[in-house]
Amino acid sequence: MKNLFTWRRTLLGLAAASVIGQCSAFSLGGSEDAVIIPPPTLDETTQAHSETAVFAGGCFWGVQGVFQHVNGVKKAVSGYAGGAANTAEYEKVSEGDTGHAESVEVTFDPTQVTYGTLLQIYFSVAHNPTELNRQGPDSGTQYRSAIFPENQEQQRVAQAYIAQLDAAHLFNKPIVTKLETYNGFYPAEDYHQDFLTEHPTYPYIVINDMPKVAQLKQLYPDRYQEKAVLVKAGL
C-alpha cells in the first residue's frame, strides 16, 4: 500500500496544496445508489440523552458528512478504531496493517434518533456493506465495513439487524460488515475533520460523498437536518 499512499498524496498535493488526505483524489467510479431498507425490528431502549456509537465504512470523510446531517446527532468525529493508540495516525493507518479502520464516532441523543435508526442510515446510505475491505475506489483493511459496539445492547441490536437484512436479501451481495471489539476511538488529525463541509467541490467529495448526503435527504427527510453539526464549531 506504500506506493498507493504516495500516489494519493501526490494527487492531493496537486489538487489542494494545503490539504493532506488519504482518500483517492480522483475516482473513476462514483457513489453507489442507496438501498431502501426497513428499520430494525429490534432497537435500543434508553432514557439517556447522550450516547456514542462507532461506525467504519470506507473513507471517513463521507461517513462523517452523512451523520453530521442527521437530526439528533450532536457530533460526528472522524478517527480510527480497531488498533492500538500508538498507531492511530494517518500515515500509519494508511499502510493497512495497524488493525485500525477509518471510523466515525457519532454522539447522539437517543430520545431524538435511536441507535437502530443510525444503523439503518449506515447500511442504506453511508456506505455499501457488501464490499469487503474496500469502498468504491479505496481498498485495504482500513476501509472495511465494521461496527464497534460500545455495550451489550448495541451489540445485540446490530447483530439482530444484520441477520434481519441478510434474511430479507435486499442487497445484491451478502453483507460483510463485522462486529468488532471496541477498544477505543482515536480522533483523526484536524485536517480530516469536517472535510466534506469545508471542501464540497473537491473531486473525491463531489463524486463519492455529496450524492450520499443528497440520498439521506431524499430517503430520510424527517431525519435530515440542513445545517451540519461540525466538529470545529465546538473548538
Catalytically annotated residues: 59
**Exposed, middle or buried: residue 121 (CB in 10 Å: 0-12, 13-18, 19+)?**
buried
With beta carbons less than 8 A apart as the criterion, state whether 165 and 124 touch.
Answer: no
Q: DSSP states of 192-221 as a string? A: GTTHHHH-TTSHHIIIIIHHHHHHHHHH-T
Q: Which of 87, 104, 99 is nearest to 209 (CA)?
A: 104
**Exposed, middle or buried: residue 110 (CB in 10 Å: 0-12, 13-18, 19+)?**
buried
Tell me the sheet residues that pair with 178: 146
185-187/101-108 β-pairing: unpaired
With beta carbons less than 8 A apart as the criterion, state whether 100 and 142 touch.
Answer: yes
Dihedrals phi, psi of 53, to nearest 5 degrees: -140, 145
**Exposed, middle or buried: residue 109 (CB in 10 Å: 0-12, 13-18, 19+)?**
middle
With beta carbons less than 8 A apart as the criterion, state whether 60 and 82 touch.
Answer: no
